[in-house]
């Protein structure tokens, strides 16, 4: 059958119209796609900028964190040094307190020794005074006996003169005189021993006085040392 030109032309025209419609639709879609691409590109560029700014912020935060870490390390080191200084100060104060306690103990011991020395010195002084009194009493007694002996000797002499013709009486007077001399010699011996005792007491008293002065000087020195440490 022969083709119908009119029908073929109509079909072609329909195809052309359809193709134009499809081309128009494709152009519309392409334009829309271009706009979408531009929007996506703008969004990408904006996102890229945001990411760059975010990276810069993160890097800044990282740098700040590192700075903060360094500051924390320095602060920890400073705190450690402060703790060491505080501990050293506590050790020093403890040492000074122990030294003060030792000085106080030494001061108390020296004071007790000084009190004991003063008491001993006082007792020795009392003994010395008592010895002096006893020596004075012995001297008075010796003087009294010497006077009595002298008086007896005088009486004996007078009696010897009166009874010189009596030999027996003369011998008795002589024996009496010898006894008086022996008694006087014994009194002189007692006097010498008493003087020796007094001299020994004086020497002991001087020694105790020197010991007392030395203890006082040590006590003064200990008080000065304790005052400086406090």
Report the chain's mean pLDDT, rounded to a whole number: 79
Task: Please tell me the number of Cα atoms within 13 Å of 51 on its side-chain side.
Answer: 6
Pairwise pLDDT comparison (165 vs 59), residue with the higher score = 59
56/61 Cα distance (integer angstroms): 8
Count of all residues that appear for the chain in the document:
230
pLDDT the model gives residue 226: 67
Closest CA to 141 of 202, 90, 105, 183: 183
Residue 30's Cβ-count burial label (10 Å; 0-12, 13-18, 19+) is exposed
Which one-letter DSSP state was computed for residue 230? -
C-alpha angle with apex 168: 164 to 171, nearest 5 degrees?
A: 80
- Cβ contact 162:102 at 8 Å: no
| pTM to 2 decimal places | 0.30
The set of residues, in sequence order, having a beta carbon less than 8 Å from that of 92 and lying 6+ positions away, is none
- Each residue of 69-80: b (16+ CB within 10 Å) or e? eeeeeeeeeeee
pLDDT the model gives residue 227: 63
Phi, psi angles (nearest 5°) of residue 165: -80, -10
212's tokens:
């007392």
Closest CA to 171 of 183, 181, 159: 159
Q: Is the model's pLDDT at 86 over the cut of 80?
A: yes
Q: Is the model's pLDDT at 1 over the cut of 80?
A: no
pLDDT the model gives residue 3: 47
Secondary structure class of 34 (helix, strand, coil)? helix
Report percent pLDDT > 90 for the chain. Answer: 0
Lowest mean pLDDT of 14-18, 80-84, 156-160, name the range: 156-160
- Tell me the CA end-to-end span of the chain in Å, nearest whole number: 140
Report percent pLDDT > 70 for the chain. Answer: 80
pLDDT the model gives residue 225: 73
Closest CA to 178 of 205, 149, 198: 149
Alpha helices in the chain (DSSP H): 5-162, 167-229
Across 68-77, 145-154, 156-165, 187-196, the highest mean pLDDT is recorded for 68-77
């Amino acid at each position: 059958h022969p083709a119908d030109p009119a029908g073929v032309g109509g079909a072609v025209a329909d195809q052309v119209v359809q193709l134009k419609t499809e081309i128009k639709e494709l152009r519309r879609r392409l334009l829309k796609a271009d706009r979408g691409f531009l929007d996506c590109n703008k969004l990408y560029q904006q996102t890229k900028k945001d990411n760059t700014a975010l990276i810069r912020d993160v890097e800044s935060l990282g740098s700040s964190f590192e700075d903060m870490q360094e500051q924390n390390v320095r602060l920890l080191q400073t705190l450690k040094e402060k703790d060491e200084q505080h501990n050293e100060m506590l050790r020093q104060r403890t040492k000074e307190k122990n030294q003060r306690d030792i000085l106080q103990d030494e001061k108390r011991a020296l004071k007790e020794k000084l009190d004991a020395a003063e008491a001993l010195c006082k007792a020795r002084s009392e003994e010395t005074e008592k010895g002096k009194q006893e020596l004075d009493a012995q001297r008075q007694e010796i003087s009294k006996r010497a006077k009595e002996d002298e008086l007896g000797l005088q009486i004996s002499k007078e009696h010897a003169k009166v009874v010189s013709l009596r030999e027996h009486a003369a011998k008795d007077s002589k024996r009496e005189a010898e006894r008086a001399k022996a008694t006087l010699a014994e009194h002189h011996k007692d006097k010498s021993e008493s003087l020796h005792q007094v001299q020994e007491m004086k020497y002991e008293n001087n020694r105790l006085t020197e010991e007392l002065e030395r203890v006082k000087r040590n006590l003064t020195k200990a008080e000065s040392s304790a005052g400086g440490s406090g």
